[in-house]
């Protein structure tokens, strides 16, 4: 009966779970690679975005070449694609995955298209196997044999369709292996800048340290200019008030009979002296204010540049960590697809051989006439069909895996209740 069962390795059962079996492509390799590709796609998409995030390239020699390497890596990430790129393509062409020809676009979309073709094979296989018992019992031996041969090995029938799927797997594997090769080359080029011992990291650390010293110095100068401005402003007001009091006192000391003239003289002295003293202090205060504004601008600009450089160092470090796992994930994915292709081909070969040997003398005692075995095999192919369908539906959503060693988020009570139910 083994020849009519789905190839081994197509399905997995989640560890410790009572949920239905899942298509094995939906494994750690698949979601891990997605996670890494998403990180790459989050990199700046052009020079303007690059400088907006990390600062002008002209402000650091280490910025000049790393952009090209980062851009190259992002281009490879775009070739891999993501759930978002698939959704975008489906909005343009809702029937994309049902097209006969492999679509243009990302590898992610091509994976979904190929899995959809394999899922169609699984659905047809389940349907055919479920119908064979009725075919055998409701027709003559000769008609039954002819019917079985036709539905499986007839031109354009099930085995031909499965053979087309094998070719699609081959095309997809070529694409994935090319993407993997490009990814490896791009990561080698990017590692020159992401490695913690690289010149880029050393220059970044040096500049961030120097910017910190400059910020401290500018902060001192800014604070000193502000305090000077404040002191001079208060002094200018106080000087004007004190001279006014002195002027009034002079008017009072002079002879009462000339009080009117004395007050006028006192007022003139007050205004003139206040203008002279207060004006001099005000000029000094204005200069201090100008220094304060200048140092404040320099402080804010320098602090802003330091934040950009710290963000750049953080992103390089995170990217370096991501790149250590993306190639193994890609390799694991390629290995899985090779297993699917080989399994599909093995099923074709075994069914073809068995059907070719089938005749009116061997039908009655064969597995084809065993309703229980046919029904069981149809059920297993139906499970494959359901698992592949679920995988494709889930692959429209974005995922973010928690890296080993990172803290896990708290459980969602609603989700716990739904899972326990």
- pLDDT (tens digit per residue) in 268-323: 444 444 444 456 777 887 888 888 899 999 999 999 999 988 988 888 888 888 77
Do 212 and 192 share a structural domain?
Answer: no
The pLDDT value given to residue 326: 76
The pLDDT value given to residue 378: 94
Do 360 and 218 share a structural domain?
Answer: no
Contact 92, 109 (CB under 8 A): no
- Cβ atoms within 10 Å of 211's Cβ, excluding its own: 19
Contact 411, 95 (CB under 8 A): no
Do 53 and 116 share a structural domain?
Answer: yes
Q: Is the residue at 314 inside a domain?
A: no
Q: Is the residue at 356 inside a domain?
A: yes
Q: Which residues have CB under 8 Å from 203's CB, separation 6+?
A: 60, 61, 62
H or E element at residue 182: helix 158-194
Q: Is the residue at 19 inside a domain?
A: yes
Residue numbers of the chain with a pLDDT score lower than 70: 1-2, 15-19, 58-62, 236-279, 325, 399-421
Domain C-terminal end among 247, 278, 304: 304
The two tokens of residue 156 are 């354009």
Number of H helices, E strands in the chain: 11, 2
241 HSE (CA, 13 A, CB side): 6
Do 380 and 246 share a structural domain?
Answer: no
Q: Which residues have CB under 8 Å from 362's CB, separation 6+?
A: none
154: left (phi over 0), alpha (psi -120 to 50) or beta: beta
The pLDDT value given to residue 272: 47
Domain C-terminal end among 304, 331, 346: 304
Nearest Cα to 327, choosing from 80, 75, 52?
80
Do 7 and 154 share a structural domain?
Answer: yes
Alpha carbons 366 and 364: distance in angstroms, whole number: 6
Nearest Cα to 326, choosing from 337, 338, 336, 334?
334
Contact 200, 60 (CB under 8 A): no
The pLDDT value given to residue 301: 92
Do 278 and 366 share a structural domain?
Answer: no
The two tokens of residue 261 are 């003239």
Strand stretches in 72-165, DSSP E = none
Q: Is the residue at 311 inside a domain?
A: no
The pLDDT value given to residue 319: 84
H or E element at residue 23: strand 22-23
Q: What pTM, to 2 d.p., does this model score? A: 0.75
Do 328 and 284 share a structural domain?
Answer: no
Q: Is the residue at 36 inside a domain?
A: yes
Helix axes 107-138, 259-357, angle to 10 degrees: 30
The two tokens of residue 125 are 């296989």
Domain C-terminal end among 277, 304, 331: 304
Q: What is the largest CA-CA distance in the chain?
A: 151
* Residue pLDDT, tens place only, 167-201: 999 999 999 999 999 988 998 888 888 888 788 88
* Residue entry with tokens 């064979």: 132
Do 221 and 176 share a structural domain?
Answer: no
Alpha carbons 333 and 32: distance in angstroms, whole number: 10
Domain ranges, residue 212 = 206-304
Contact 299, 222 (CB under 8 A): yes
Do 125 and 94 share a structural domain?
Answer: yes
Alpha carbons 269 and 230: distance in angstroms, whole number: 27
Q: Is the residue at 410 inside a domain?
A: no
* Residue entry with tokens 């081994």: 8
Do 328 and 250 share a structural domain?
Answer: no
Do 146 and 13 share a structural domain?
Answer: yes
The two tokens of residue 91 are 């909005």
The two tokens of residue 97 are 């995955």
Q: Is the residue at 420 inside a domain?
A: no
Backbone angles phi and psi of 10, in degrees to 5: -75, -30
* Residue entry with tokens 């494959």: 384
Q: Which residues have CB under 8 Å from 34's CB, separation 6+?
A: 82, 83, 399, 401
Alpha carbons 355 and 386: distance in angstroms, whole number: 26
Do 294 and 333 share a structural domain?
Answer: no
Q: Is the residue at 309 inside a domain?
A: no
Give the chain's domain count: 2
């Amino acid at each position: 009966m083994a020849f009519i069962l789905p190839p081994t390795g197509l399905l997995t059962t989640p560890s410790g779970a009572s949920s239905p079996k899942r298509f094995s492509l939906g494994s750690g390799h698949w979601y891990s690679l997605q996670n890494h590709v998403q990180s790459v796609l989050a990199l700046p998409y052009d020079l303007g975005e690059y400088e907006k995030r990390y600062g002008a390239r002209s402000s650091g020699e280490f910025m000049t070449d790393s952009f090209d390497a980062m851009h190259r890596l992002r281009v490879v990430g775009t070739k891999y694609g993501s759930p978002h790129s698939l959704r975008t393509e489906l909005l343009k062409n809702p029937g994309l995955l049902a097209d006969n020809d492999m679509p243009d676009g990302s590898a992610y979309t091509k994976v979904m298209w190929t899995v959809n073709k394999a899922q169609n094979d699984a659905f047809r296989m389940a349907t055919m196997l479920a119908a064979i018992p009725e075919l055998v019992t409701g027709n003559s031996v000769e008609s039954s044999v002819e019917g079985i041969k036709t539905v499986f090995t007839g031109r354009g029938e099930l085995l031909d369709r499965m053979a087309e799927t094998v070719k699609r797997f081959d095309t997809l594997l070529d694409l994935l292996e090319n993407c993997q090769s490009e990814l490896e080359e791009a990561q080698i080029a990017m590692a020159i800048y992401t490695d913690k011992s690289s010149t880029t990291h050393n220059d970044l650390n040096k500049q961030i340290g120097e910017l910190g010293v400059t910020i401290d110095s500018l902060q001192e100068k800014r604070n000193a200019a502000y305090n000077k401005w404040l002191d001079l402003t208060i002094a200018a007001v106080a000087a004007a008030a004190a001279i006014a009091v002195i002027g009034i006192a002079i008017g009072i000391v002079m002879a009462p009979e000339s009080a009117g003239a004395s007050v006028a003289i006192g007022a003139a002295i007050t205004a003139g002296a206040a203008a002279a003293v207060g004006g001099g202090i005000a000029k000094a205060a204005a200069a201090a204010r100008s220094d304060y504004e200048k140092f404040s601008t320099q402080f804010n600009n320098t602090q802003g540049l330091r934040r950009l450089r710290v963000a750049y160092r953080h992103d390089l470090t995170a990217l370096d960590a991501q790149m250590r796992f993306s190639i193994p994930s890609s390799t694991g994915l390629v290995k899985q697809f090779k297993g699917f292709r080989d399994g599909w081909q093995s099923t074709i070969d075994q069914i073809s051989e068995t059907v070719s040997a089938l005749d009116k003398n061997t039908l009655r005692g064969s597995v084809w006439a065993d309703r229980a075995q046919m029904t069981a095999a149809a059920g297993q192919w139906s499970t494959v069909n359901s698992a592949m369908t679920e995988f494709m539906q889930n692959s429209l959503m974005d995922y973010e895996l928690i890296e080993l060693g990172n803290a896990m988020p708290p459980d969602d009570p609603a989700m716990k209740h739904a899972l326990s139910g």
